[in-house]
């Protein structure tokens, strides 16, 4: 880690050179950063420079070790999202840069969106609508429509969002199973979730919802082998991370009928491009990474991401810490920002910080 910068030297430097705060997430209201004595810039790439002290990013912007190295005075990367797999955490820690996220701003929205997609698939809402739009009028066009009460739902990833979905599904009379190697079985049981092994859950549940973080261990955790284990006619929802599912295997399972229907709120490339289009299938529903969104959630995620930057620049430790950086030094030691620092939580391994649910995973967000 770089040697810490002492307060007198930092104060002398910042008195001469205004800080630069670079905003890479287009939705952030820059007026929230007023009063910092900093130059606020909107950019589409991180840029470089000794004066850059803070980055505010969304999940679409990757912050690599190389990018961090071009900003030697960087003090904080604040991400407007639950997930943080787009940031090189090891490089940030090595350089003494704080990394913060907003881990719980959209729990209700994500659970609501996952439930909405599950109900739409189970009751064939989208498929029936498409059939009517083509001139049909057949209540069997989507296949057998199961009764919701008694449907066995398997939740993979039982963080905040997974448990919130479980509560909603239980209220509808669904039988909820769950798998999460990082949550003790007794905690799952206390949430009304039957703990299960991964393959046990796949083989027993006719509805699946993914809420795991994207890590090397979970990448493509749902592929051809795993889909071969699910009951014929299962429905699958992924609102977490696109990388959890092998897309080609998903489409093949829809073709074969192993999956009756599927819905995704996340793609490998967002927004889609001509070179990487959104997947299409008659029994696939795609939403545009909207699970996180409500006006209330949007206001909260931007406000808290900006508050983390303000804390560090004014000499306080931020909340929602993913990586702990150097002890903050106020840009003006005599300013109100030099008030006593509030304690920050200890760094938590990244696999537990998301959903999203980690993150749960999420935008901006899962």
Q: Which residues are catalytic?
A: 241, 270, 289
Q: Which of 245, 246, 266, 286 is nearest to 363 (CA)?
A: 266
Among residues 304, 298, 299, the alpha carbon closest in space to that of 365 is found at 298
CA 96, 241, 218, 104 dihedral sign is: positive
Residue 57 DSSP SS3: strand
Give the list of residues 6+ apart from residue 174 with CB closer than 8 angstroms, or none. 148, 149, 150, 151, 152, 153, 207
Single out the residue of 325, 187, 214, 322 nearest to residue 268, CA to CA: 214
C-alpha closest to that of 172 among 192, 201, 198: 192
For every residue of 143-164, DSSP letters joined together read -----STT-EEEEE--SHHHHH
In the three-class reduction of DSSP (H, G, I as helix; E, B as strand; rest coil), residue 195 is classed as: strand
């Amino acid at each position: 880690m770089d040697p810490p910068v002492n307060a007198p030297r930092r104060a002398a430097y910042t008195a001469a050179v205004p800080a630069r705060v670079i905003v890479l997430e287009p939705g952030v209201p820059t007026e929230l950063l007023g009063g910092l004595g900093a130059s606020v810039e909107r950019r589409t790439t991180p840029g470089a420079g000794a004066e850059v002290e803070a980055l505010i990013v969304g999940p679409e912007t990757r912050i690599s070790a190389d990018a961090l190295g071009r900003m030697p005075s960087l003090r904080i990367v604040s991400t407007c999202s639950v997930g943080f797999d787009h940031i090189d955490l090891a490089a940030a820690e090595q350089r003494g840069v704080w990394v913060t996220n907003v881990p719980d701003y959209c729990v209700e929205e994500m659970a609501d969106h996952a439930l909405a997609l599950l109900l739409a698939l189970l009751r064939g809402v989208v498929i029936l609508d498409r059939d009517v739009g083509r001139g049909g009028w057949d209540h069997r066009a989507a296949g057998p429509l199961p009764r919701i009460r008694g449907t066995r739902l398997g939740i993979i990833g039982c963080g905040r969002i997974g448990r919130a979905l479980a509560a909603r599904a239980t209220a509808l009379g669904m039988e909820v199973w769950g798998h999460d190697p990082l949550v003790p079985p007794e905690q799952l049981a206390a949430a009304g979730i039957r703990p299960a092994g991964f393959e046990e859950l796949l083989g027993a549940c006719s509805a699946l919802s993914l809420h795991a973080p994207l890590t090397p261990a979970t990448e493509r955790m749902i592929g051809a082998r795993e889909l071969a284990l699910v009951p014929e006619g299962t429905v699958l929802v992924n609102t977490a991370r696109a990388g959890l599912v092998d897309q080609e295997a998903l489409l093949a399972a829809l073709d074969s009928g192993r999956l009756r229907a599927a819905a995704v709120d996340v793609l490998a490339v967002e927004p889609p491009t001509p070179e990487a289009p959104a997947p299409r299938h008659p029994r696939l529903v795609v939403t545009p990474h909207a699970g996180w969104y409500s006006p209330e959630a949007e206001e909260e995620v931007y406000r808290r991401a900006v508050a983390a930057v303000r804390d560090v620049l004014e000499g306080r430790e931020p909340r929602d810490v993913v990586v702990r950086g150097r002890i903050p030094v106020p840009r003006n030691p005599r300013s109100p920002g030099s008030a006593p620092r509030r304690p920050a939580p200890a760094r938590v391994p990244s696999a537990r910080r998301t959903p999203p649910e980690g993150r749960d995973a999420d935008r901006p967000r899962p």
